[in-house]
Amino acid sequence: MNWIAWALLILVIPLGAPRYFADSGLRWPLKQSITSYLLVSVLALAGIAAAIGSHLPAAASIPHELVIVASVAAATLGGGPVTETVFRLAAFKGNLGAPNASEEEGPSPLRGGMWIGLLERAAIASTLWASWPEGLAVVLAVKGLGRFSELKQHAAAEQFILGTFVSVLWACAAVGVGRVIGF
């Protein structure tokens, strides 16, 4: 069962990766929201399979290095589409189903968010695997200080908080699944 969980964790990587190549013309056949729901479902199934597999009497062991690499890659690449879908969901008005006008206007108030998110999730996953939880504080402090001047805008502050929460939760979930698989 651990091999199934590990394979599902590996599946997160190719599901999340095409998002980062969208500007190069690479087309992904699924809508981003469907991809995000698939990512969340696959990671949840990996966690369930890992939890069940760890309680079986003859659970197959997967090399720890493979589990670590897979979970850091899943944390890094899978979180972007999920974060963007949460941004879209947050932009909808309650009952009208139309995007909020302030969210439709112009580009995002926080530039470079995709690359910062990639680095943030990789750093969070790495610090958790290194058993250095203080690293979370360092990563989030550096991110906050780097964006400090931009956070005076309400929309930027809201996007910063929402994106940070989703990224941190995704990275923690991917590492958590990896820990259940590997130990």
Can you give the residue ranges of every domain in the chain?
Answer: 2-182
CA distances to 28, 108, 119, 175 from 163, rounded to whole Å, are: 23, 12, 13, 18
User: Which tens digit of pLDDT belongs to each residue from 86-113?
Assistant: 888 887 655 444 444 444 444 555 556 7
Residues sharing a CB contact under 8 Å with residue 135, sequence separation 6 or more, in sequence order: 123, 124, 126, 127, 128
- Asked if residue 182 has pLDDT above 90, the reply is no
For residue 32, the model assigns a pLDDT of 78
Contact 26, 90 (CB under 8 A): no
**pTM for this model (two decimals):** 0.81
More confident residue, 36 or 114: 36
Contact 104, 151 (CB under 8 A): no
User: Which tens digit of pLDDT belongs to each residue from 44-91?
Assistant: 999 999 888 777 765 567 888 999 999 999 999 999 889 888 888 887
Contact 53, 47 (CB under 8 A): no
